Amino acid sequence: MMLAIPVVQLLLFGYAINSEPRHLPTALLVQEDSVFARSITAALKNSAYFDLVAQARTPGELDEMVRRGEVQFAITIPGDFTRRVARGDQAQILVDVDATDPSATGAAVAALAALPAQTIKPTLEYDAKAHELKGPLIIDVLKAAGVKAGDGQSVLLRALDGYAVAVPMAEIQQRRFIFATHIDGQPLALGGLGPLWAVFDADRSADMAVKPLKQRFALCPWGTYHVEVAAI
C-alpha cells in the first residue's frame, strides 16, 4: 500500500502520535541531500512510533526489505522534494507500508486525522476577505501527544521559512488556536500558507479585531512544522 504524506504531518509524527503499537521497524531511502531531508530524517529518529533500522541505497533495495519482512514501513524522500517545495507544488513523501499488520498500519494513518476539526472564518490580510479555515485545536494536538497543559508554559511554533514565535499556553487555549489544514475546503499548499498554519480567529478577538490586518497574525506562523512546549 503506497501513501503520500505531506512533509509537515510527517515531521509532527514524533511529537503528535501517542498510540500503540510503537517502535515499528522502518527503512529510509533519501534521494536528495537537503535541509528538508535532514529534518525529516531527524524527526523519524526522534519518533517513538518508528524505529529507523536501515537506510536503503536504491528503490529496489528498499522494496526488498519490505518483501522480506525486515521492515514494516519504507519511507522515500524523492529527489525532487526541495524543488517542489520551492515551486509551491504539493511535495510528498512516499510511505510503503507492509499491510500484513493492519492494526499498526491503520493506527499510523488514522493518527493524522483522528482529532476533531474546528472551523474558523477570519479575515485574511492577503485579500482582506474572510476565509474558512479548518483543523484541530492545537491544545487537542498537545493533549494527544501527552502534554499536560499549564499556565506556566509557552508553546514555540516554528515555520518552514525560519519564522518562530512563542505563545503562552494560556493564550493558545483562550484564543482557540488551531492547526489549519484546509482553506475554503482545499488543503493548504506547501509554499503558501500550509500545509499547516497555526492560527486563530482574529475577528472574534476584541483586542485583535481593532488592529490593521497586517498586525493580526504575528502570532500565527504559516507553514508550521515544529512545536515545542517549555516552562516560562
Per-residue model confidence as pLDDT tens digits over 165-183: 999 999 999 999 999 988 9
Q: What is the mean pLDDT of residues 98-120?
A: 61
Q: What CA–CA distance (Å, rounded) separates 123 from 171?
A: 20
Q: Is the pLDDT of residue 192 over 80?
A: no
Domain boundary assignment for the chain: 2-110, 117-231
Q: Is the pLDDT of residue 2 over 60?
A: no
Can you give the pLDDT at residue 144? Answer: 75
Q: Is the pLDDT of residue 113 over 80?
A: no
> Do residues 92 and 4 touch, judged by C-beta distance below 8 A?
yes
Query: 71 exposed, middle or buried (CB, 10 Å; 0-12, 13-18, 19+)?
Result: buried
Can you give the pLDDT at residue 204? Answer: 93
Q: What CA–CA distance (Å, rounded) separates 126 from 124?
A: 6
**Residue 213: pLDDT band with limits 50, 70, 90:** very high
CATH topology (fold) of 2-110: abc type-2 transporter like fold (3.40.1710)
Can you give the pLDDT at residue 90? Answer: 58
Q: Is the pLDDT of residue 80 over 90?
A: no
Q: Is the pLDDT of residue 38 over 60?
A: yes
Residue 73 bridge partners (DSSP): 26, 97
Q: Is the link from the previous residue into 195 a cis peptide, with omega within 30 of 0? A: yes
Q: Is the pLDDT of residue 65 over 80?
A: yes
Q: What is the mean pLDDT of residues 198-209?
A: 94
Helix or strand (DSSP H, E) at 141: helix 138-144
Can you give the pLDDT at residue 49? Answer: 67
Higher pLDDT, 105 or 64: 64
Range 117-231: architecture per CATH: Alpha-Beta Complex (3.90)
Q: What is the mean pLDDT of residues 44-62?
A: 83
